[in-house]
Amino acid sequence: MVTTSSEAAPRHEGLRQSWRLLAAAALGIPFWVLTAGQLPRGHVTDGGYWFVVGDPLVALGCLVALVWRRRYPLPVALVVVLASAASTLAAGAAFLALASIAAHRRTAWTATVTAAYVAAAQYNIDLYPIRLAPPPPWLPLLLTAACAGIAVAVGLAVGARRAEVASLRERARSAEREQSARAAQARAQERTRIAREMHDVLAHRISRVALHAGVLDHRGDLTAEENRVLVRSIVDSSHQALEELRDVLGVLRSDPDRPEPPQPSLELIPGLVAEARAAGLDASLAGTVSGDPPDTAGRTCYRVAQEGLANAAKHAPGSRAHVTVEGAPGDGLRVTVRNSPAATAHTAALPRSGYGLLGLTERVTLAGGELAHRPTSDGGHLLTARLPWPDHRGKRA
């Protein structure tokens, strides 16, 4: 049978409670024995039954009352220290009561119980007719005050340790919560990154396959050559999508034997435009870029052009799409994708992910840029991104 932590905690607490009560009982025994040794001969048999009967019963009652010292700290402590005036054997219980109240670290409570402890101790000294000569009045007061100081010091130390342990536990719980929150945030960011990469890599390929398949399904007047070109394009796009999907999955699996695929860059945009043109989109490219932009800016620029051309092919078939890329160090990098209205009616309802522009906005924002998109006055669409391109040449000079 496996014991859970919730079951083990009360058990450990009960063991600690029993140990403290046994220690308090053992602490009172030496005082009781010493007092017995100083009693006159025949004291018990001559009617002093309180020492052997009443004194132990009061001590036992004090020990029982200490069981509830956590729930009722101040009343229990006062009852125990005042009752110890009638029992020498209850000295250990009174010591534990005073230490327990001091552990709460409340000055008013500690002062009240300490005063009651010192006063009760003075009465206890005269409880039995011992054979020793009466001590000076100041000596019992000094001894009881010293005992009270020791008990208070022990209680304060225990209270400080409890507070420190509670603080450490709270820190551990707080650190665990923060770690869980960071892990959840990291998982969310990783899911977003994976979704963004999967969309960027596959969405335009699958959209092109769906577009050409829709043309084949709805156009019955195509020539054999046109059908062959469309089928060839579907096959090529499908193979490319599978290859890119394999590359992405290889990276996500962290396969050490499979190198990470090269990341797209600004130099690949002409090839992207050529692919769009080969797929039937009237695409063109213009602009001048002076120098080599940062890798992040070039990669993001490629993704913007890719998303713009994919959306043009998906939502405006037969339209003209014009990509403009301009930039220079210090002036930033700007990419614009403008497409005209659809030249033909939509042949089929193409699948929509709904996350293309959302993921692109996140990507551009992470790169430190801004993304804007809006319909144009002629019914087309305009997609624009501005990316930072700092001029490090002036700093080096």
Residues 185 and 118 in one domain: no
Question: Does any domain span residue 167?
Answer: no
For 4-65, give the DSSP string: PHHHHHHHHHHHHHHHHHHHHHHHHHHHHHHHHHHSPTTTTTTT-TIIIIIHHHHHHHHHHH
Residues 218 and 308 in one domain: yes
Of 70, 102, 134, which one is at a domain's C-terminal end? Answer: 134
Residues 128 and 204 in one domain: no
Which pLDDT score, from 0 to 100, does residue 4 have?
A: 45
Residues 208 and 76 in one domain: no
Residue of 103, 105, 97, 88 whose CA lies nearest to 37: 88
Query: pTM here?
Result: 0.47
- The pairing of strands 320-328 and 332-339 is antiparallel
Residues 116 and 253 in one domain: no
Encode burial over 146-171: b for 16+ CB neighbours within 10 A, e otherwise: ebbeebbebbbeebeeeeeeeeeeee
Instruction: Give residue 351's domain range.
Output: 181-396
Give the other-Cβ count within 10 Å of 214's Cβ.
16
Question: Does any domain span residue 152?
Answer: no
Cβ burial, residue 393 (10 Å; 0-12/13-18/19+): exposed
3 state DSSP class of 334? strand
Which pLDDT score, from 0 to 100, does residue 6 have?
A: 45
Give the separation between CA 317 and CA 347, rounded to whole angstroms: 9
Question: Does any domain span residue 161?
Answer: no
Q: What six digits make up the tokens of 317?
A: 């078939």
Q: What six digits make up the tokens of 83?
A: 């009752």
Strand order in the sheet with 282-286: 282-286, 320-328, 332-339, 381-387, 370-375
Question: Does any domain span residue 326?
Answer: yes
Count of the separate structural domains present in the chain: 2
Give the separation between CA 360 and CA 373, rounded to whole angstroms: 11
DSSP 72: S
Question: 253 with 207: CB under 8 angstroms?
Answer: no
Could you give the C-alpha distances from 316 to 77, 311, 350, 381, in angstroms and in order?
A: 86, 8, 11, 9
Residues 237 and 335 in one domain: yes
What H or E segment, with its residue span, contains residue 355?
none
Which pLDDT score, from 0 to 100, does residue 379 have?
A: 86
* Four-point Cα dihedral 264, 265, 267, 268, nearest 10: 20
Q: What six digits make up the tokens of 164?
A: 């420190």
Q: Which amino acid is at 336?
A: T
Residues 78 and 193 in one domain: no
Which pLDDT score, from 0 to 100, does residue 250 have?
A: 64
Question: 299 with 265: CB under 8 angstroms?
Answer: yes
Question: 333 with 364: CB under 8 angstroms?
Answer: no
Question: Does any domain span residue 224?
Answer: yes
Question: Does any domain span residue 139?
Answer: no
Residues 348 and 213 in one domain: yes
Give the separation between CA 99 and CA 118, rounded to whole angstroms: 14
Of 114, 134, 154, which one is at a domain's C-terminal end? Answer: 134
Per-residue pLDDT of the chain (397 residues; tens, 9 = 90+): 444 444 445 555 667 778 888 888 888 888 888 777 777 776 665 556 787 788 889 889 988 888 888 888 889 988 988 888 888 888 888 888 888 888 887 888 888 888 888 888 887 777 776 766 666 777 777 888 888 888 888 888 888 888 888 888 898 888 888 888 888 887 777 677 666 666 666 666 676 777 667 667 666 777 777 777 777 777 777 777 777 677 666 656 555 555 555 677 888 899 888 888 877 778 899 988 888 888 888 888 988 998 888 888 877 877 889 999 999 888 889 999 999 888 765 545 454 555 677 778 888 888 889 999 999 888 889 999 999 988 766 554 4
